[in-house]
Amino acid sequence: MKITVIGSGYVGLVTACCFAEIGNDVICVDHDQRKIDALRQGKPTVYEEFLPELLTRHGGARLNFSWDLVESVRSADIIFVAVGTPQSADGQADLSYVEAVAHQIAPALGNGFKLIVNKSTVPVYTAERVRRTLLLSGAKPETFDVASNPEFFREGTAVTGFLYPDRIVIGADADRSVALLREVYQPLTTGAYRETATAIPPPQNALAKIRLIATTTKSAELIKHSANAFLAMKVSFINAVSNVCDAVGADVEEVCEGMGSDARIGKRFLKPGIGYGGSCFPKDIIAYRAVAIENGYHFNLLTEIMRTNEEQRLRFIAKIRRTLWNLKGKRLGVLGLAFKGGTDDIRESPAIYIIQALLREGCIISVFDPAAMKNARECDFGSQLKFAEGAYEAAQGCDALLILTDWEEFACLDLVRLRGELKHPIIFDGRNLYSPEEVAKAGITYVSVGRPDVSPEGLPVASL
């Protein structure tokens, strides 16, 4: 199949590389010439496992990059639209890029039937609006159809998430379009791809059989927003529970174990911490709420999910203040900048939010992140923040160490060495990466989320 992917951000680039990997001829289009130049040289523009391999494997052969949208659309059977849908001032998704692309696609239609597919996360009715825009721009109705095929992969595991998904959702109102999309995904749904000798290895929890769910465009659009909102709700729910645990002296990790063992609930996305972030959950929930209101329904639960998320960050800062007393002039080591482990993405990162709040309080911060330092250096944090070369360096001479991102390497630090680096042996763990007993045994006071604080013998109790 000849596929064109418009947009080379996280979603567009991974989609393009993976479609090439499962045997299609792909052109990935972006108007940013610098990105196209880099990608043509095989340099990934986002940090994602397996992306460099796929670029090397298919770049210049089955996978090409271009800034010529019209030409790329002309040569394609299916066009996936994966441009950004940022948040506009009123909370709604800003769909102006999607609309602009539709206007640009229209003149390239006419040589045979083409299927235009929304891959970006978009609100309900977007496929309908894209269809109308194409018609307004002069496209003949018999030359195209518009479908919805939301993507569910996660940053950090995007390539394996694409190749081994839990399900594939296609929303299309014409049988012909459903058939085309079924054909594209066949190597994944039949399991043929995983049998190929060079297949990217499946993750541990990969399903043997991948279901393709065919539905209407409206339902597909709602599936995406509802799935993200539900996951964010799970995170906010367990964070709210962690606050009750803090209040009564219970252990939220044990509560999670007990709750999550109910198959109807499940343990995934039930990890307490400093709240969710990233480029999807915060934006999507606001957009979902806006679209519900626009259609006459006040989805108040979504407002509460966001409020709990915001509160979680503030509560963590309050714990630090309660333990360290005055924050002005305190030296803090910080581990983590990315919104979660496994990515260099700092968009809407709770770590960044907390760092900025502490800098405003007059703290002096030394921070380390295994992948997100480059992105963070582009922000203006002022002179009170220094970038360290590693976790132990970040801790050197500090009044306390903060863990703000769940990187695996932060979960297996040498605690005794860390204790030696710190001026005062205190760790605030916003991701519950350690067992409290283990940290206390290393002679460190440990304050985490939803679990009683622990102090080694002889040291004052962390919080009052």
Q: Tokens 């763990």 correspond to what residue?
A: 429
The residue within the footprint of ligand UGA, chosen from 82, 168, 223, 270 (CB under 6 A), is 270
Per-residue binding string, ligand UGA, 225-244, x by CB under 6 A, is ---x--x---x---------
Shortest Å, Cβ 416 to ligand UGA:
28
Q: HSE on the CB side for 42, CA within 13 Å?
A: 11
- Residues of this chain, 193-232, that bind ligand UGA according to CB under 6 A: 228, 231
- DSSP code of residue 170: E
Shortest Å, Cβ 444 to ligand UGA:
23
Shortest Å, Cβ 339 to ligand UGA:
4
Tokens representing residue 201 in the block: 């290895």
Nearer to ligand UGA, 127 or 280 (CB): 280
Non-local (6+) Cβ contacts of 414 within 8 A are: none
The answer to whether residue 280 forms part of the interface with ligand UGA (CB under 6 A) is yes
The answer to whether residue 347 forms part of the interface with ligand UGA (CB under 6 A) is no
The answer to whether residue 407 forms part of the interface with ligand UGA (CB under 6 A) is no
Shortest Å, Cβ 232 to ligand UGA:
7
Distances (CA, A) of 139 to 45, 113, 122, 133, 295: 33, 11, 22, 9, 29
The residue within the footprint of ligand UGA, chosen from 85, 121, 323, 375 (CB under 6 A), is 121
Helix (H) or strand (E) holding 72, with range, is helix 69-74
Q: Is the dihedral of CA 279, 340, 151, 12 positive or negative?
A: positive
Q: Tokens 């541990």 correspond to what residue?
A: 204
CB 407 within 8 Å of CB 342: yes
- For this structure, is 280 an active site residue? yes
Question: Which phi and psi angles does 61 have, rounded to 5°?
Answer: -110, -100
Contact stretch for ligand UGA (CB under 6 A) within 88-96, 149-157, 206-214, 287-295: 149-157
Angle between helices 217-248 and 281-294 (to 10 degrees): 120
Contact stretch for ligand UGA (CB under 6 A) within 16-24, 140-148, 211-219, 274-282: 274-282
Q: Tokens 């080591």 correspond to what residue?
A: 333
The answer to whether residue 276 forms part of the interface with ligand UGA (CB under 6 A) is yes
Longest CA–CA separation in the chain, Å: 79
Per-residue binding string, ligand UGA, 294-333, x by CB under 6 A, is ----------------------------------------
Per DSSP, the three-state class of 447 is: strand
The answer to whether residue 153 forms part of the interface with ligand UGA (CB under 6 A) is yes
The residue within the footprint of ligand UGA, chosen from 58, 114, 131, 271 (CB under 6 A), is 271
Residue 387: what residue type?
F
Per DSSP, the three-state class of 427 is: strand
- The DSSP result for 13-51, as a single string, is HHHHHHHHHTT-EEEEE-S-HHHHHHHHTT--SS--TTH
Shortest Å, Cβ 23 to ligand UGA:
23
Annotated catalytic residue, options 28, 280, 363, 398 = 280
The residue within the footprint of ligand UGA, chosen from 339, 368, 407, 446 (CB under 6 A), is 339
The residue within the footprint of ligand UGA, chosen from 123, 187, 278, 336 (CB under 6 A), is 278
Q: HSE on the CB side for 438, CA within 13 Å?
A: 10
The answer to whether residue 338 forms part of the interface with ligand UGA (CB under 6 A) is no
Contact stretch for ligand UGA (CB under 6 A) within 45-53, 75-83, 145-153, 357-365: 145-153
E strands present in 119-166: 144-148
The answer to whether residue 59 forms part of the interface with ligand UGA (CB under 6 A) is no
Q: Tokens 């997100």 correspond to what residue?
A: 372
Nearer to ligand UGA, 271 or 289 (CB): 271
Total residues at the site for ligand UGA (CB under 6 A)? 20
Label the pairing between strands 25-29 and 63-66.
parallel
Binding site for ligand UGA (CB under 6 A): 121, 151-155, 228, 231, 235, 269-271, 273, 276-278, 280-281, 339-340
> Catalytic positions, please?
280
